[in-house]
Amino acid sequence: MHYRWMMILGLLFGWAGLALAAEDAAVFENYCAACHGVDGRAKTAQGRKMKAKDLRDSRLTEAEIERQIREGSRIKTGVSVMPAIGKDMTDAEIAAAIRAVKAFRPPAKP
């Protein structure tokens, strides 16, 4: 009987994880994909124009990603290279975007 409940809980949490991943992907597609592309590689016309970064290479911390989403980023000359899109997003959407950005990273090597 105990085993059956463990299986049920495992399935429920697995589905919750899939739902969260789907939500993250939807937020990313809505706010980020125009520049970074749905694959995170920044091979879109807008991404090339804005010199967007390939998210697979990102090593920013969650706090740094959040700051860029909320405040945008500029190069040393002051030219904006990423607009501040956080003003148009809820805190939950920003958290989802951060998870989506981190999901493009390759698995850490042991």
Residue 15 has pLDDT above 90, yes or no: no
**Count of domains for the chain:** 1
Q: What is the mean pLDDT of the chain?
A: 81
Residue 42 belongs to a domain:
yes
Task: List all residues 6 or more positions away from 51 whose beta carbon is below 8 Å from its beta carbon.
Answer: 81
User: What CATH number should be reported for the domain holding residue 28?
Assistant: 1.10.760.10
Q: What is the pLDDT of residue 6?
A: 45
Residue 109 belongs to a domain:
no
Beta bridge partners of 74: 80
- pTM metric for this prediction: 0.77
Residue 34 belongs to a domain:
yes
Residue 15 belongs to a domain:
yes
Query: Average pLDDT in the 51-59 region?
Result: 91
Task: List all residues 6 or more positions away from 26 whose beta carbon is below 8 Å from its beta carbon.
Answer: 96
Amino acid at 76: K
Residue 108 belongs to a domain:
no
Contact indicator for 94, 70 with CB cutoff of 8 Å: yes
